[in-house]
Amino acid sequence: MDIKNMKNYLYWLFCQFELITCSYLMEPWEKVLFYTFNITMLFMVLYTAYIYVPIHISTAFQFSRILCSKHETTYLVVIWTF
């Protein structure tokens, strides 16, 4: 029951997406192009996030620690290595 509701809800969300982006009006091959583009973009964003976010977080963490201890030189080194 819940799963069916969920499926309906997802389908409804997808319809809204189609209506807002006007892919509802597109021909099949245009849809393929549009979705390929969108999915590629989404994938790339996620992948970038996966690669860089941990590094960013760890540098931010270090940075805050360095800031507390006020070691200007290491601070610069951190920036450059990143």
Partner 1 sequence: MERPGRAAAVAGAQPRANGCSGAGHGTLRNGYVRRFPAPDTQVDHIVHNGGLYKRPFNEAFEETPMLVAVLTYVGYGVLTLFGYLRDFMRQWKIEKCQNATEREEQKDFVPLYQDFENFYTRNLYMRIRDSWNRPICSVPGAKVDMMERVSHDYNWTFTYTGRVIKDIINMGSYNYLGFAQNTGTCQEAAAKVLSQYGAGVCSSRQEMGNLDKHEELEKLVARFLGVESAMAYGMGFATNSMNIPALVGKGCLILSDELNHASLVLGARLSGATIRIFKHNNMQSLEKLLKDAIVHGQPRTRRPWKKILILVEGIYSMEGSIVRLPEVIALKKKYKSYLYLDEAHSIGALGPSGRGVVDYFGLNPEDVDIMMGTFTKSFGAAGGYIGGKKELIDYLRTYSHSAVYATSMSPPVVEQIITSVKCIMGEDGTIVGKARVQQLAENTRYFRRRLKEMGFIIYGNEDSPVVPLMLYMPAKIGAFGREMLKRNIGVVVVGFPATPIIESRARFCLSAAHTKEMLDRALKEIDEVGDLLQLKYSRHRLVPLLDRPFDETTYEETED
Instruction: Enter the tokens of residue 41.
Output: 């973009």
Nearby residues of 26 by Cβ (< 8 Å), 6 or more positions away: 34
Contact flag: residue 9 with partner 1 (CB under 8 A)? no
CB of 23 or CB of 74, closer to partner 1 = 23
Segment 48 to 77, residues that bind partner 1, using CB under 8 A = none
**Angstrom distance (rounded) from CA 4 to CA 46:** 28
Binder of partner 1 out of 1, 3, 22, 68 (CB under 8 A)? 22
Min dist. Cβ of residue 2 to partner 1 (A): 21
Q: Is 34 in the site for partner 1 (CB under 8 A)?
A: yes
d(C-alpha 18, C-alpha 26), whole Å: 9
